[in-house]
Chain A
């Protein structure tokens, strides 16, 4: 019976995957121009396809690809994707090859998400076994979190729009997911590669080093260590082999070594590529400097552009520091609180970055919504889930409308559009807060099941 159920489950998974690929292809071949790549929600100055094509053209004309402050991405992306922006096949839609690359990146990300999810699920079941809670928690009710997460990622309208809208978000997301997959599966060179590439393409995945260190040191998500100790105190059997291993530094050192190797490799390639045009300093100024100083204030679905459009020059540096520290100061407390669940920590970090980064887009949201699928079992009791879902739907429908009212019809103004951006940020905040509290409630529930009575410590 279970085999049949599993078979049916896996059959419809591949169905959904193929259906989403076909849907993407339909949208790519759609005869009318959907103009998705010009939407501010989809393409930002960092991920825009038009800017990539411009950077490539500048490079082909022997000028620095960062000239004119159009292109702000990695020179390796230019070498990789640049020729695809100009290649045209007779009778096929424009940029077909580039869209196919995005589709392939999406599919690869989904497969990696699935594999990591299966890994996480196995680890969860194993930890429940070693805590002897298998009878008390109905394990057969557990959904296949890997499949669900992969399907959420593939069939999410945000992902589809980011893929068809020719932004570089699918590739950035693939790098982040590769890093997390490598860390979960203890493939250290892969994790280091993913982390280096993700940081190189956009600055913010650098903070994922903390969950990666925890993943490599302790292993995938598991209930807090002291629960294991309490359980074995109860049983009075100090069977060390059933305990999860403690923190080990060896994988971290390996990771540091491989990360150093890959960064040197990437930086050398970039240096060669930019030798005549100012070298690595120019690249850092145009990519990381551009992200950190928020030079471009064109509207997007984030909240920084509106603020920096009106701040006085005198206070600009101060507020830049404030906004960036806003991300940084949340790193340490979350790391302390969620150190036993590094994948969840990674999800929270990705969500916070997607919300507070300089130029957010729906491609970034697609990433953390996909990662949310890994925790459907733990977060089953999350509050406000319907409110959040309706909120997301509402914002994604209203935001283009407000943009149209503001820019094209002139009957609205920037406040209309910024309202939807603020609501979107509020929704993301609620999601993060409720998610973290649901996860902590889940841990609390496990502790109650083990000790039999609620502890008075605040946890």
Chain B
């Protein structure tokens, strides 16, 4: 849809009239698009029954510990979801696929969100444990779009999706929102339909399940000019540790010297090596001399001393 030739903003899909968020942006991976979106491919992805030539990027590589979010939107009706104006996904097909997934241990928990007309009927036939499903409307109800974007010429977002996004936009990084708060945030009068969810197959209590079980966040990186202030100052103990490493190579203790590439820390598990280094006075002198700050301040003193030396010498020789 983003690359449809009738899209006025090619490769951009907005969720709001203000065009603030491009949902088809740089951090979105689209694996199936266009004519590849068929019911057969969808069921193959879910069950993992691909041809051998299908690349890994087009497979659902999940295992028995995975949490999967399955979000479907479009046109639908009583126990079906429309695909590509030509075929439909039926609720028993979906239930079959989920059953196969469970048998093959392809998920631990599955959250199905459906935003179509009469969405709740799509998961009528589900029987596998560990599945949680929510639909935007019940049987006999329609789901409505939220608002029209006159610039693009179509409605940009449906009500259920809009209020789901609104819920997540309100959260900050430290909120520990639970699924129950998400599900109870849907207001039937605002949605103009009843959001119905099915939790009989899901054994955990919804108040205990954080939304981050199924939803992730996209970090926005902001570039600042202060790039050189990022790292901490050099560790003064660093060169001491290096010294003792040189001196006590013959020691057999385990010494873990992790030099992180950014130059943060050095972990020295065994402190005995430093005692060995401090026994010799020459090594302590070299130790002190090689400390980074000392070298720096020495050079700075030398530089500053150049000026009075110059003045004095010029005045003397006059």
Which residues of A pack against B, CB within 8 Å? 53, 56-57, 60-63, 75-76, 79-80, 85-86, 88, 94, 182, 187-190, 193, 254, 258, 265, 268-269, 272-273, 275-276
Contact = CB atoms under 8 A, between A and B. Distances in A.
A62 B299 contact: no
Interface of B is mostly: helix
Interface in B220-268: 225-226, 228-229, 231, 233-234, 238, 262-263
A153 to B, nearest CB: 22
Given A61-B262, A63-B263, 15 more contacts: A60-B233, A61-B263, A62-B238, A76-B303, A79-B296, A88-B226, A182-B314, A189-B310, A190-B314, A193-B306, A193-B310, A258-B313, A269-B303, A272-B295, A272-B302
Interface string B283-296: 00000001010011
A275 B299 CA distance: 11
Contacts of A85: 228
B238 A53 contact: no
Contacts of A272: 295, 298-299, 302
B303 A190 contact: no
B317 interface: yes
A175 to B, nearest CB: 12
Contacts of A60: 231, 233-234
Nearest to A193: B310
B212 interface: no
A61 B299 contact: no
Given A60-B234, A61-B263, A79 B317 contact: no
B318 interface: yes
A190 B310 contact: yes
28 contacts: A53-B228, A57-B228, A61-B262, A61-B263, A62-B234, A62-B292, A63-B263, A76-B303, A79-B299, A79-B300, A80-B303, A86-B228, A86-B229, A88-B226, A94-B225, A188-B317, A189-B313, A189-B314, A189-B317, A190-B314, A193-B310, A265-B309, A269-B299, A272-B298, A272-B302, A273-B299, A275-B295, A276-B290
Nearest to A191: B314
Interface of B: 225-226, 228-229, 231, 233-234, 238, 262-263, 290, 292, 295-296, 298-300, 302-303, 306, 309-310, 313-314, 317-318
A273 B314 contact: no
Contacts of B303: 76, 79-80, 269
Contacts of B300: 79
Task: In the A-B complex, list the 8 residue pairs whose CB atoms are closest, starting with the nearest.
Answer: A189-B313, A269-B302, A61-B263, A273-B299, A190-B314, A57-B228, A79-B299, A189-B314
B317 A187 contact: yes
Contacts of A63: 263
B228 to A, nearest CB: 5
B215 to A, nearest CB: 38
Contacts, number: 60
B259 to A, nearest CB: 10
A57 B298 CA distance: 19
Interface of A is mostly: helix
A85 B295 CA distance: 20
Contacts of B226: 88
Given A189-B317, A193-B310, A76 B299 contact: yes
Contacts of A94: 225
A61 B234 contact: yes
Contacts of B238: 62
Contact of B318 (A75, A86, A187, A269): A187
Contacts of A61: 231, 234, 262-263
Nearest to B229: A86
A57 B313 CA distance: 35
B96 to A, nearest CB: 57
A276 to B, nearest CB: 7
Contact of A275 (B233, B234, B290, B313): B290
A75 B303 CA distance: 11
A119 B71 CA distance: 86
B295 A187 contact: no
B306 A265 contact: yes
A69 B225 CA distance: 22
A273 B295 contact: yes
Contacts of B310: 189-190, 193
A185 to B, nearest CB: 10
A265 B290 CA distance: 20
A258 B238 CA distance: 39
A290 B304 CA distance: 28
Which residue, A75, A79, A88, A275, has most C-beta atoms of chain B within 10 A?
A: A79
A29 B306 CA distance: 32
A444 to B, nearest CB: 38
B100 to A, nearest CB: 54
A433 B263 CA distance: 55
A79 B295 CA distance: 11
A62 B228 contact: no
Contact of A187 (B262, B263, B290, B314): B314
A210 B229 CA distance: 46
Nearest to B261: A61
A414 to B, nearest CB: 31
Contacts of A53: 228
A76 B298 CA distance: 12
Contacts of A79: 296, 299-300, 303
B143 to A, nearest CB: 50
A62 B263 contact: yes
Which residue, A63, A189, A265, has most C-beta atoms of chain B within 10 A?
A: A189
A57 B229 CA distance: 9
Nearest to B312: A189
A94 B228 CA distance: 13
A63 B261 CA distance: 11
A38 to B, nearest CB: 14
A269 B296 CA distance: 10
A120 B296 CA distance: 42
A258 B310 CA distance: 10
A273 B298 CA distance: 8
Contacts of B295: 272-273, 275
Contacts of B318: 187
A383 to B, nearest CB: 41
A254 B313 CA distance: 12
A265 B307 CA distance: 12
Contacts of B296: 79, 273
Contacts of A182: 314
A428 B295 CA distance: 44
A227 B238 CA distance: 70
Nearest to B301: A269
Which residue, B263, B302, B309, has most C-beta atoms of chain A within 10 A?
A: B302
A193 B231 CA distance: 37
Contacts of A275: 290, 295
A300 to B, nearest CB: 26
Contacts of B299: 75-76, 79, 269, 272-273
